[in-house]
Amino acid sequence: MNFARDPWVLHVDLDQFIAAVEVLRHPELAGKPIIVGGRGDPTERAVVSTASYEARAFGVGSGMPLRIAARKAPDAVLLPVDADAYTAASHDVMATLKEQPGAVVQVLGWDEAFIGIATGDPEAYARDIQRAVLERTRLHCSVGIGDTLVRAKVATGFGKPRGVFRLTEANWIEVMGDRPTIDLWGVGAKVSRRLAALGITTVSELAAADNEPLIAEFGPKMGPWYGQLGRGEGAREVDDTPWVARGHSRETTYQTDLVTPAEVEEAARELVARVQEDIEAEARPVVGLTLKVRYAPFSTKVFTKKIPETADAGVVLERAMELVGRIDANRPIRLLGFRAEMAMPDDARGGHTPTRSGW
């Protein structure tokens, strides 16, 4: 085999990205537990956007209510979210990745990307990436190496922090086989419970599972896909086609519950208006709407509606308010979210996530 011609997938993931950016801005915080979320005020309703490794040691994690995080780590420094700063830092990182020799870069978000490369020594290439990112941005990253996008993504977790790890067909079962299915990229708590009901609790059991029970539980597309995921299989080529958003969404957590129909309607109309501002520049018709409602104290419902293609803001608002009409008027509301899904252009990358056999 000519290793110099072998293609590899590298997954680059910045270590504790948001917290690391904050430390660069505030060097005196280095080594301290840092929690970033909302406006940095634990008396307000907000969730943790990120926590430094030092804060994670106290059990603090992303998505946790800020007030609970503050109780778990009482000595932590709480900071407000500064999206502009994180976007600027991310831009520098991704520009650095795109400058690497022979790299095909598929950006996944603020803090991670896939890189397609042909090399005989992917570990050395990964270390070069780490050095280049550190020199330009002063940020550390971990790199997963794989022969599929799925394996590269999963491998990164074994390299954190600041490390490199290779995961391929040759060692997939050895490394992942005894782990619970929830450790797979793309399997959350609900899916893992449904798999457990089928007698599938580990990655090796999922990898060996017949399609029939998976199809019966998850459908003809998702069932086989979960089996494929258990084997670490999927797309092998990194696609640098620019990502086109399927939709835009906004949500607001209210410091005081919404309790009257008038309050709910006003808040919903404001959210819809903000989303419509986001999609105006896209010049694509809206084809679907989603309304997220979180009732007090913490019960969430999601309502969806497919609509005929329309670029008429008045029609979108009218259909959105039909969803609002499904809200339980007798329950206080602490959060509302609204999403508008748009028609995709013909040349857009297909699919939703790179795990599903490509974009």
Calculate mean pLDDT across residues 290-294: 97
pLDDT band at 209 (very low <50, low <70, confident <90, very high): very high
Q: Give the pLDDT score at 161.
A: 94
10 close to 122: Cβ distance less than 8 angstroms: yes
Q: What does the pLDDT look like over 183-196, one tens digit per residue?
A: 999 899 999 999 99
Cα–Cα distance for residue pair 109/147, rounded to 1 Å:
21
pLDDT at 71: 96
Average pLDDT over residues 205-220: 96
Q: What pLDDT is stored for residue 347 in this prediction?
A: 64
CA separation for the pair 139, 95 (Å, rounded): 14
DSSP-based three-state secondary structure for 336: strand
Active site positions, annotated: 112
How does pLDDT run across 120-142, given as a tens digit for each residue? 999 999 999 999 999 999 999 99
d(CA 16, CA 10): 19
The overall average pLDDT reported for the chain is 92
Residue range 233-277, pLDDT digits in tens: 999 999 988 777 789 999 999 999 999 999 999 999 999 999 999
Tell me, what's the pLDDT at 348?
63
pLDDT at 282: 83
Burial of residue 248 (CB within 10 Å: 0-12, 13-18, 19+) is buried
For residue 255, the SS3 value is strand
CB 275 within 8 A of CB 338: yes
Burial string for 108-119 (b: 16+ CB within 10 Å, else e) reads bebbbbbbbbeb
Give the pLDDT confidence score for residue 218 in this predicted structure: 95
Q: What is the pLDDT of residue 5?
A: 63
186, 180, 182: which is closest to 205 by C-alpha?
180
Average pLDDT over residues 89-118: 96
Report pTM: 0.82
How many helices, marked H, and strands, marked E, lie in the chain? Answer: 13, 12
| pLDDT one-digit tens code per residue, 302-323 | 999 999 999 999 999 999 999 9
* 3 state DSSP class of 175: helix
- Is 354 a residue whose pLDDT tops 80? no
Cβ neighbour number for residue 103 with a 10 Å cutoff: 19
Element (H, E) at 269: helix 261-280
Check pLDDT > 50 for residue 20: yes
Distance CA 25, CA 138 (A): 11
Tokens of 273: 């208006």
- How many Cα atoms are found within 13 Å in the side-chain-facing hemisphere of 130? 23
